[in-house]
């Protein structure tokens, strides 16, 4: 997750038109993380 943020920052600095694409990418990552947390029973 941290690595993805670094990559996003680097790409944003290089080309601003990728901003929406990266935001959508982050949303997908967050949704996947939430699903995995919900699917795994608390220990």
Q: Grade residue 2 by pLDDT with cuts at 50, 70 and 90.
A: confident
Per the CB < 8 A criterion, the answer to whether 13 and 6 are in contact is: no
SS3 42: coil
pLDDT digit string, tens, across residues 4-43: 888 877 776 777 767 788 788 889 988 888 788 777 666 6
Reference 6, options 26, 35, 33, 34; nearest CA is 26
Half-sphere exposure in the Cβ direction for 17 (13 Å, CA): 0
CA distance 35 to 43: 16
């Amino acid at each position: 997750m941290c690595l993805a943020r670094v990559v996003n920052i680097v790409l944003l600095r290089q080309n601003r038109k990728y901003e929406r694409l990266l935001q959508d990418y982050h949303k997908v990552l967050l949704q996947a993380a939430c699903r995995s947390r919900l699917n795994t029973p608390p220990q």
